[in-house]
Structure 1
Amino acid sequence: MMNGGLQLAEIPRVKRISKEDFLKYYVKPQKPVVIENLIEEWPAYEKWNLDYIKQVAGDKVVPLYDDRPITSEFKFNEPHAEMKMADYIDLLKSKPTDYRIFLYHLMKEVPVLQKDFKFPEVGLRMIKQLPMLFFGGENSKVFMHYDIDFANILHFQFHGKKQCVLYPPSESKYLYKVPHSLISREDIDFTNPDFNNFPVLKKAQGYVTELNHGEALYMPEGYWHQMSYLNAGFSMSLRATPRTFTNFSKAVYNLVVMRNFDNVMRKLGGQKWIDRKNRIAVKKTNKYS
């Protein structure tokens, strides 16, 4: 299927799946899947919506991020604003906004939320830490990236709908990956790509789905993902350790070497370092045109 000119196949969907079939058909071959009825028994399935979050966490001051590109001033994990959760939810419900929440331990701040979910028995080595919640306004987007720890991810959508575009690691060479980072060029709009400036994107073969309330998306380790909030809503991710020594080694390298090297170079070179990386991304990727 072509999506804005991109080669994107629909992610397979199942209502329910056994642990054995999940491992055999999706985890071992590293293929994504949407499980529609994985969490019907969770209290969160019925309770979690924006009004409930406002009720239990409205007084918490939360960090907000928008879609401005990473610069020498604003780093990847540095928030651009903050407000009380109640005010943020009112904003989400009133109009489209670019403001998003991520990398915030709401469950630690509001322990009552911890009673509403459980780690599913699907055969993954789940990392038993408190999961983070992710919020976004209508039409807000998370840029194309992959996760630093090469985790296998179960991503659960609540209150609203989002479009998820995924690419396997094999397609990295076509995605204008920025060196010494986990992102593609941030000026690429994967909902409406500019093939004049980024022609090699046409060669990348990926996946797409629309994720609805209560559905779980399995993203294999190292998969690129870009999320677009079609409605205001929020989601939660559970993580599992990499299954292979190779990907575990990549995760250690990313965490220990790459991230620290890039931080040092950003301090030394500032915006020139970032601009140089963006130029290299185009030069290297266009060799495949």
Structure 2
Amino acid sequence: MNTADLNHLVESLVEIALTDDSKLRPGADDLILRKRKALARLQDSDSFRRLLEQAEFAERLRSLMDALREKWRDFSSQGIQRIASLDPESFMRHYLLPSVPVVLEAAASEWPAINKWCPQWFQETFGNQDVEISDHRRSDMNYEARFGAHRRTVPFGEFLERVKSDRTNDCYLVAQNKLLEKPAFERLLDDIGDLPGILDRSRKDAESVQLWLGPAGSSTPIHHDLTDGLIVQVDGRKRVILLSPYETEELQRAYRNIGRAGPGIEPIGSTTTRTIGWSGEVVLGPGDILFVPLGWWHCVENLTPCISLSMQNLVSAGYRWDHPDFRGYF
């Protein structure tokens, strides 16, 4: 709310407050005088002055964000960088601390998971285990916000048959299903390698590392995370579209009528460059790692059956964006 909105609100409140009174005293001049007096009293109150100060601060902050957004668009005109090799100091200096996304190509290619995990291996190894998935998502635009209503426990082998045969967003094993917390799957953590100086091995656990497994066409709508993190592509190919935090107001303006789940990758991918102004798009293959900084909006689509990891155990993971009553989705 800016100062003009605030003054309009105050005038509207005065109008509403005096509507019934005006029926008892139909004199127009008297009504106008009383409105002016009521408005003056309200604008002179401590509460109004505090609201006005907050509105003026919000306008200054918005102006700053507008300037930073234009600066970022100029800086990022080359898109998301892809780096073949990167030492920890350079990663910290050029990407993590300034919050710049980057793809570390094939950085996880030697991890046991990359050379072992695939839908067929999971089916042969864990097919008889029951797992929780997110199911029946196509019928609910707000499936992310109503995650609990879509939780379903199924035989892993049955789910993996759907993963291998269907192109759909109807089913997906997502981070919230907490597969790695189940005793039968804890040993999968041993197949996850390390990035010395970038990942904190002491926090390689099911709280900081989550597994995603879904068919081609499964996706995650636009959202941002509250901490810095990595997307590690284990098997298959994944498409990710990213938007800077500086695009938040433009994004909300463009999609304010979208439900809590937020727009998916197709509306973002088809309209971003026209409506939002700037976005970065990458495709990840097995062994690739994408650094997604805190607050960066992103939406994801699996181009093939995919297995991925999201990891929040970076060595400097103390940065967190806590904001009350805001879930990270529109």
User: Is the pair's TM-score, using the shorter chain for normalization, greater than 0.5?
Assistant: yes
How far did residue 201 of structure 1 move? Answer: 5.8
> How far apart, in 1, do the equivalents of 2:224 and 2:197 lie?
22
Matched, 1:141 2:219: yes
Paired AA for residue 154 in structure 1: L
Say which of 69, 86, 94 aligns to 1:25: 94
Say which of 85, 96, 100 aligns to 2:167: 96
Matches within 5 A, 1:71-150: 75-79=146-150, 81-98=152-169, 99-102=171-174, 103-109=176-182, 110-123=185-198, 127-130=203-206, 131-147=209-225, 150=226
Considering only CA atoms, is the larger Rg found in Structure 1 or Structure 2? Answer: 2
> How far apart, in 1, do the equivalents of 2:94 and 2:307 lie?
28
How far did residue 231 of structure 1 move? Answer: 0.7
Corresponding residue number in structure 2 for 1:286: none
**Seq. identity, %:** 21
Corresponding residue number in structure 2 for 1:169: 245
Q: For residues 152-180 of structure 1, give each alpha carbon's deviation from its aligned partner in whole angstroms, at most 9, with x where no partner exists.
A: 1111112211110011111111112659x
The answer to whether the 8 Å contact 1:100/1:140 transfers is: yes
Q: For residues 214-242 of structure 1, give each alpha carbon's deviation from its aligned partner in whole angstroms, at most 9, with x where no partner exists.
A: 11110011111100111111100110479
Say which of 69, 78, 82 aligns to 1:13: 82
> How far apart, in 2, do the equivalents of 1:202 and 1:208 lie?
16
> How far apart, in 2, do the equivalents of 1:168 and 1:63 lie?
30
Q: For residues 10-39 of structure 1, give each alpha carbon's deviation from its aligned partner in whole angstroms, at most 9, with x where no partner exists.
A: 421111210011111111221111111222
Instruction: Give ranges in structure 2 of 5+ residues lacking alignment.
Output: 1-75
Q: Which has the larger displacement, 62-71 or 20-29?
A: 62-71
Normalized per residue, the structure richer in strand is 1
> How far apart, in 1, do the equivalents of 2:278 and 2:261 lie?
17
Matched, 1:47 2:116: yes
SS at structure 1 position matched to 2:246: helix
| Shift in CA distance, 185/95, structure 1 to aligned 2, threshold 3 Å | closer
Corresponding residue number in structure 1 for 2:141: 69
| Shift in CA distance, 120/81, structure 1 to aligned 2, threshold 3 Å | same
Q: For residues 240-288 of structure 1, give each alpha carbon's deviation from its aligned partner in whole angstroms, at most 9, with x where no partner exists.
A: 479698x63x32x34xx546xx9xxxxxxxxxxxxxx9xxx7xxxxxxx
How far did residue 95 of structure 1 move? Answer: 2.2
Corresponding residue number in structure 1 for 2:294: 221
Corresponding residue number in structure 2 for 1:210: 283
> How far apart, in 1, do the equivalents of 2:98 and 2:120 lie?
39
> How far apart, in 2, do the equivalents of 1:152 and 1:182 lie?
22
The alignment's TM-score, normalised by the length of structure 2, stands at 0.64
Q: For residues 95-138 of structure 1, give each alpha carbon's deviation from its aligned partner in whole angstroms, at most 9, with x where no partner exists.
A: 21211111122222212212101342244667543111112211
The alignment's TM-score, normalised by the length of structure 1, stands at 0.72
SS at structure 2 position matched to 1:113: helix
> How far apart, in 2, do the equivalents of 1:244 and 1:64 lie?
28
The answer to whether the 8 Å contact 2:99/2:293 transfers is: yes
The answer to whether the 8 Å contact 2:106/2:286 transfers is: no
> How far apart, in 1, do the equivalents of 2:150 and 2:114 lie?
29
The answer to whether the 8 Å contact 2:222/2:265 transfers is: no
SS at structure 2 position matched to 1:89: helix
> How far apart, in 2, do the equivalents of 1:106 and 1:36 lie?
26
SS at structure 2 position matched to 1:138: coil
> How far apart, in 2, do the equivalents of 1:128 and 1:216 lie?
16
The answer to whether the 8 Å contact 2:221/2:299 transfers is: yes
> How far apart, in 1, do the equivalents of 2:326 and 2:218 lie?
28
How far did residue 48 of structure 1 move? Answer: 1.2
> How far apart, in 1, do the equivalents of 2:220 and 2:299 lie?
6
| Shift in CA distance, 118/157, structure 1 to aligned 2, threshold 3 Å | same
Normalized per residue, the structure richer in helix is 2
| Shift in CA distance, 122/223, structure 1 to aligned 2, threshold 3 Å | farther
Instruction: Give ranges in structure 1 of 5+ residues lacking alignment.
Output: 1-6, 263-276, 282-289
